[in-house]
Amino acid sequence: MKFGLFGGAQAVPGEVVTEAALGYHEYGEYIQTAEKLGYESAWMVEHHFTGFSQLSATLNYISYLSGITSKIRLGSAVVVVPWHNPVLLAEQVATIDQLSKGRYDFGIGRGYRANEFNGFGIDMADAEDIFQESIAFMRRAFTETDRWSYKSDRYTFNDIIVEPPVVQLPHPPMWVGAGSENSIRAAARNGFNLLLDQMTPFEGIGDRVQQYRDELEKMGKDFDPYRIGVTRGFMVANNDNERKEAHILRGKFISEVQVLSTDKRYQAKAFNPVDDNDAETTGTDSVSENGAVLGNSDEMGERVQKLYDLGVRNILLHDLSGNFEGLHQFAEEVMPHFVDKNDPVVAAAE
């Protein structure tokens, strides 16, 4: 199995709301520590206008992380494509791929928070069309070696060539957040790796892994379980008091995601939040008890085993506390039981 991290820093450290209450430099130290402990990846969110100091210029921050690390893979979860000029985005992605020496994972999405579209003055109803056109454009831009031009109803680009060239060919792996069966199967058909949300119960995650696998096999393609990243709440709780505190913290996060996803002032034909690696929000404590990597080392190991049995091989841990001790505890007491485990799913895929 592989274990990574999900989340990001807060520009103004303070009360924990949606990410770890660590500033940009502190969170960089957190990721450096994770790299030393053997975590395989770190994934950064992109959000705007929250008032919670969530990461906004995510690609800039990933560039910073690429300079202070050397092995850990760095991913965006996700860049909301409709908010970006596709030429500038392709150039930034290629630059990060160069700076990180091929360690970047390009997580992409359409967006789901109506207040963010309102802030940018973009109609949410146009998001899908913008997403599809921009991704097709960038896939071509990463592979063109001569100058070319492009014109559509939305964009005009004349005599361009995207520089620098990417390190990973034909381009950095593209990961898409998806939650509904239709979107999961579409991700498989379009050649995307898959990011699954952090609040769906364990059993539901198993169903989604199977949907992705089924669609690939229908097309005659091999299934690689490491092409699915499953985000999970990460709540180290070595006693009842720590468990209670973890639930309080997690409950605040779940409530805020729900508010941001359903703000009636901006509601339109909003996408399901799980389609961008957030989640259905149907409770607080029960969501974590039924789906988080929660508890002491033995309990966390049991929950990882449950995910393993469902076919999950790549877990992304979202720790709201930014707790260095918890990072160490999981790496030293849980990960060793799974990292070198005999893996029949992977063997079958190979």
Domain locations in the chain?
Answer: 2-349
Looking at domain 2-349, its CATH architecture is Alpha-Beta Barrel (3.20)
- As a whole number of angstroms, the longest Cα–Cα distance in the chain is 63
Query: Which residue stretches of the chain are H helix?
Result: 24-37, 58-68, 86-99, 114-120, 127-143, 181-189, 202-218, 240-261, 285-289, 297-309, 324-333, 344-349
Q: Is the pTM of this model over 0.85?
A: yes
Are the beta carbons of 108 and 81 closer than 8 angstroms?
Answer: yes
Q: Which pair of tokens denotes residue 299?
A: 């309990």
Q: Which residue is listed with tokens 């030429």?
A: 87
DSSP secondary-structure letter at 204? Answer: H
CB atoms within 10 A of CB 125: 10
Give the DSSP H/E element, type plus range, for residue 285. Answer: helix 285-289
115: three-class secondary structure by DSSP: helix
- Along the 350 residues of the chain, how does pLDDT read in single tens digits? 999 999 998 877 666 666 777 899 999 999 999 999 999 999 999 988 887 778 899 999 999 999 999 999 999 999 999 999 999 999 999 999 999 999 999 999 999 888 899 999 999 999 999 999 999 999 999 999 999 999 999 999 999 999 999 999 999 999 999 989 999 999 999 999 999 999 899 999 999 999 999 999 999 999 999 999 999 999 999 999 999 988 988 888 887 776 666 544 433 333 333 344 433 334 567 888 889 999 999 999 999 999 999 999 999 999 988 899 999 999 999 999 998 655 554 444 44
